[in-house]
């Protein structure tokens, strides 16, 4: 048996050498590609994503915080119709600006690090999920599925298309270069926005979707417009809580929108989504 094995090895020795060399070359080439190109590229991608996120985390949180405060004010005093006051458009135009500023900063972060974040670590991926959840608060139909109390046509009437939000973000972003340095991204200031909104048809067209969300708002559990706004407000507040869990940049938030005549089925769905994502929140309990 031993002699047969030696004879077979001698007979096919050249073939074994060729196969060994081929396999070794493949392994060596793959190892070189892995350690010299693939891993360094992934490491660079993660570092760039973290740098971009670190750079824009503060303005995103501050913009979200400012918008969150306005939404709470709008919901609390909706019956006073400040947004619809034709004698003074400040409340209306400033609300639209706060919406645009938030999504403008989101567009900057998306452009500079979204793909990197998407392929980065688990926490970074959770960030993208939370960001997308805020968008879905304006665009998603899942919150109203199988709800006989809220007509589908009413839900469709207050939907904000995802690409409309993208267009708004693009309009709000400005890039300035100083002394030949790389262009710095930021969003329009309030005066710049007011000037553009009053003179640029594109601003009026795309911001019209946000105006449609706020204008003529009426409180009501079966009102699709009212529920859509509350969904968006809750998801935004959940994002702030996720990005600033220790409350170092923002004041602690209490979730109370479910008491604002929100449809119970809609609230239960929103709450389930937060529980699934393990968002920590404090609810205001109903008064007895």
Our count of domains for the chain comes to 1
Q: Over range 146-169, report the average pLDDT.
A: 94
State the sign of the Cα–Cα–Cα–Cα dihedral 230, 231, 236, 238: positive
The answer to whether residue 224 sits within a structural domain is: yes
- Residue 48 inside a domain? The answer is no
Give residue-wise pLDDT tens across range 179-237. Answer: 656 678 899 999 999 999 999 999 999 999 999 999 999 999 999 999 999 999 999 99
- What sign does the dihedral 73-75-76-81 (CA atoms) show? positive
pLDDT for residue 13: 60
Q: pLDDT confidence of 285, banded at 50, 70, 90?
A: very low
More confident residue, 32 or 270: 270
Distances in Å between the Cα of 261 and the Cα atoms of 24, 188, 218 are 69, 35, 11
Give the residue carrying structure tokens 């929103």.
Answer: 270
DSSP string covering 189-214: -HHHHHHHHHH-HHHHHHHHHHHHHH
Asked if the structure places residue 225 within a domain, the reply is yes
- Reply yes or no on whether the pLDDT at 286 is more than 50: no
Global pTM reads 0.78
The answer as to whether 18 is a domain residue is no
pLDDT at 131: 85
- What whole-number distance in Å separates Cα of residue 168 and Cα of residue 90? 20
The CB density around residue 45, as the number of other CB atoms within 10 Å, is: 16
For 5, 7, 62, 240, 265, the CA distances from 67, given in Å and listed in that order, are: 79, 82, 9, 11, 25
Q: CA triplet 267, 95, 55: central angle to 5 degrees? A: 85
In a domain, 37, yes or no: no
pLDDT on residue 260:
77
Query: Is 124 among the domain residues?
Result: yes
d(CA 255, CA 234): 7
* Predicted pLDDT of residue 129: 81
Mean pLDDT (the chain) is 81
Residue, of 285 and 129, whose pLDDT is higher: 129
Q: Is the pLDDT higher at 282 or at 153?
A: 153
Of 57-61, 86-90, 122-126, 257-261, the poorest mean pLDDT is in 122-126
3-state helix, strand, coil in the chain (%, to 5): 70, 5, 25
**What burial letters (b/e) apply to 127-159, b meaning 16+ CB within 10 Å?**
bbebbebbbbbbbbeebbeebeebeeeebeebb
Please report whether residue 31 resides in a domain.
Answer: no
Give 258's contacts (C-beta < 8 A, 6+ positions apart).
Answer: 230, 234, 267, 270, 271, 283
Tell me which residue of 131, 133, 209, 228 sits closest to 171, measured CA to CA. Answer: 209
In a domain, 49, yes or no: no
What range does the domain containing 246 cover?
58-276
Reported as a single tens digit per residue, the pLDDT across 109-142 is: 888 765 555 455 566 667 778 888 999 999 999 9
pLDDT of residue 207: 98
């Amino acid at each position: 048996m031993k002699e047969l094995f030696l004879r077979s090895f001698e007979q096919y020795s050249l073939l074994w050498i060729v196969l060994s060399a081929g396999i070794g070359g493949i392994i060596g080439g793959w190892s070189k590609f892995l350690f010299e190109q693939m891993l360094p590229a992934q490491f660079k991608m993660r570092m760039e994503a973290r740098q971009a996120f670190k750079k824009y985390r503060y303005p995103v949180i501050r913009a979200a915080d400012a918008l969150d405060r306005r939404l709470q004010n709008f919901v609390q005093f909706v019956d006073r119709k400040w947004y619809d006051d034709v004698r003074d458009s400040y409340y209306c135009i400033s609300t639209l600006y706060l919406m645009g500023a938030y999504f403008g900063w989101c567009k900057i972060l998306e452009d500079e690090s979204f793909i990197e974040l998407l392929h980065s670590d688990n926490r970074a991926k959770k960030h993208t999920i939370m960001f997308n959840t805020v968008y879905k608060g304006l665009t998603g139909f899942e919150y109203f599925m199988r709800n006989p109390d809220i007509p589908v046509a009413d839900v469709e009437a207050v939907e904000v298309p995802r690409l409309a939000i993208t267009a708004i973000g693009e309009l709000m972003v400005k890039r300035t270069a100083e002394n030949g340095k790389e262009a710095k991204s930021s969003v329009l200031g309030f005066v710049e926005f007011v000037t553009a909104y009053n003179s640029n048809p594109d601003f009026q067209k795309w911001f019209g979707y946000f105006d449609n969300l706020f204008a003529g708002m009426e409180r009501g559990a079966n009102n699709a417009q009212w529920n859509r706004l509350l969904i968006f407000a809750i998801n935004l507040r959940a994002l702030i809580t996720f990005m600033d869990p220790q409350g170092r940049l923002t004041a602690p938030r209490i979730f109370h929108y479910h008491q604002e005549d929100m449809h119970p089925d809609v609230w239960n769905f929103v709450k389930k989504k937060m529980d699934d994502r393990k968002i920590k929140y404090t609810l205001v309990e109903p008064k007895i």
